[in-house]
């Protein structure tokens, strides 16, 4: 098996110290995501592609590649049959186990609705669980149009159910909103837009664990947060200029791809501040506490990154949320702005009644 893995044209990965993070892309969509991550120069994680389809494996970049189900599928894919994807992963269970050896945090990335991602994904989740690896599944659901009058909906539902049983967290991103909002985009471009959303979430989490900061969020914090029961939310916001910390927080909480998030009662909150951070900007942690209530444990990290210039980036991970969150890709700038305003208003009304000059009231109209 090792020889076969080495035959592929592999991209050099960066040496990292600290927790071992892997992103395993499974099936065609998973391999595309890994390829896009390599191309984007994502650092701090090992990027591994897994597929039954040899052509897809060969044509995409990755740090490591594993062809599964060679005997069963002859390298031709699983023909949209999850049972074939499942057997293919079982055929190479040992190679997958070896690849996951020593991993602390695993992301399983896949598009659901085909055979490999939907069938092999849950097997990989099962292996990770048996090895007690902290695992997050980040999955893309197909366009509704694709699911109509086809088996895809059943495949997607079953795969989601299996994954949810086995991993610590599942983040679902829907392809559908892309086509709603970018009707004139080429299909491959629309796919990439959804991939970008997924990658930004994964990258935000990798950054929390892997970037050495002035003040660190450590792996145990992530471990506790991601192992918490209930829903998890990841948000990323960037802003510059006046009140940039508040603006970045508002955009992280009100990500156009996610919609409104209610944090009241959440159990754990981790926030990473990235940029040339000024001490007083950290006070937005107190603002956040007003949203979550007193019971949440809130921890923050600071990573000095002067390359962001005037901008600041905030990555926020919240867990123990009881309310359902659906992540959808909305690629519409007007909508984005309106939602941002909506959240700002909501914050003012709910949480700033007794504060003299509410920060969000200083937002330009």
Ligand X SMILES: Nc1nc2c(ncn2[C@@H]2O[C@H](COP(=O)(O)OP(=O)(O)OP(=O)(O)O)[C@@H](O)[C@H]2O)c(=O)[nH]1
- The residue ranges that bind Mg ion (CB under 5 A) are 28, 53, 77
The C-alpha angle 338, 340, 344, rounded to 5 degrees, equals 115
Radius of gyration in angstroms for the set of CA atoms belonging to the chain, rounded to a whole number: 21
Q: Please, which residue, 32 or 103, has the CB nearer to ligand X?
A: 32
Residue 110 CA to its chain's centroid (Å): 11
- Which residue in 29, 108, 199, 205 binds ligand X (CB under 6 A)? 29
Q: Are strands 312-321 and 268-275 parallel, antiparallel or unpaired?
A: antiparallel
Stretch 62-91: interaction string toward ligand X, x if CB under 6 A: ---------------xxxx----x------
To the nearest whole angstrom, how small is the minimum distance from the Cβ of residue 232 to ligand X?
Answer: 21
d(CA 313, CA 208): 12
Cβ atoms of 87 and 118 within 8 Å: the answer is: no
Q: Please, which residue, 142 or 213, has the CB nearer to ligand X?
A: 142
Q: Please, which residue, 34 or 263, has the CB nearer to Mg ion?
A: 34
CA distances, 7 to each of 2, 37, 307 (Å): 9, 21, 38
To the nearest whole angstrom, how small is the minimum distance from the Cβ of residue 162 to Mg ion?
Answer: 18
d(CA 181, CA 272): 30
d(CA 303, CA 208): 9
Residue 142 CA to its chain's centroid (Å): 17
Residues 91-120 contacting ligand X, CB under 6 A: 111, 113-117
Q: Please, which residue, 55 or 295, has the CB nearer to ligand X?
A: 55
Q: Which stretch binds ligand X (CB under 6 A): 25-33, 203-211, 276-284, 356-364?
A: 25-33
To the nearest whole angstrom, how small is the minimum distance from the Cβ of residue 252 to ligand X?
Answer: 22
Q: Please, which residue, 173 or 226, has the CB nearer to ligand X?
A: 173
Site for ligand X, rule CB under 6 A: 27-29, 32, 52-53, 77-80, 85, 111, 113-117, 140, 142-143, 146, 175, 191, 194-195
């Amino acid at each position: 098996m090792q020889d076969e893995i080495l035959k592929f044209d592999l991209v050099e990965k960066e040496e990292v110290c600290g927790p071992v993070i892997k992103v395993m892309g499974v099936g065609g969509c998973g391999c595309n995501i890994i390829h896009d991550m390599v191309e984007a120069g994502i650092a701090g994680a090992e990027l591994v592609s897994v597929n039954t389809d040899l052509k897809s494996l060969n044509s995409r970049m990755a740090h490591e590649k594993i062809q599964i189900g060679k005997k069963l599928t002859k390298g031709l894919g699983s023909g949209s049959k999850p049972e074939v994807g499942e057997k293919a992963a079982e055929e190479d269970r040992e190679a997958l186990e070896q690849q996951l050896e020593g991993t602390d945090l695993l992301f399983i990335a896949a598009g659901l609705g085909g055979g490999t991602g939907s069938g092999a994904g849950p097997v990989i989740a099962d292996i990770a669980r048996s090895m007690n690896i902290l695992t997050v599944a980040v999955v893309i659901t197909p366009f509704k149009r694709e699911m109509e009058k086809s088996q895809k909906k059943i495949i997607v539902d079953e795969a989601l159910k299996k994954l949810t049983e086995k991993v610590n967290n599942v983040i679902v991103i829907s392809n559908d909103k892309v086509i709603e909002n970018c009707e004139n985009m080429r299909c491959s471009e629309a796919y990439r837009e959804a991939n970008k959303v997924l990658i930004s979430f994964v990258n935000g989490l990798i950054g929390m664990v892997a970037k050495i900061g002035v003040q660190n969020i450590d792996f145990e914090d992530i471990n506790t947060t991601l192992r918490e029961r209930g829903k998890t939310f990841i948000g990323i916001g960037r802003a510059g200029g006046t009140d940039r910390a508040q603006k970045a927080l508002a955009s992280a909480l009100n990500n156009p791809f996610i919609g409104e998030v209610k944090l009241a009662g959440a159990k754990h909150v981790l926030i990473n501040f990235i940029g040339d951070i000024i001490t007083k900007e950290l006070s937005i942690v107190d603002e956040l506490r007003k949203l979550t209530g007193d019971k949440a444990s809130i921890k923050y990290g600071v990573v000095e990154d002067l390359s962001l210039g005037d901008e600041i980036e905030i990555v926020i991970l919240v867990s123990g949320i009881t309310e359902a969150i659906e992540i959808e890709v909305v690629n519409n700038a007007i909508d984005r702005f309106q939602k941002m305003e909506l959240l700002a208003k909501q914050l003012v009304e709910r949480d700033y009644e007794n504060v003299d000059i509410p920060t969000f009231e200083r937002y330009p109209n």
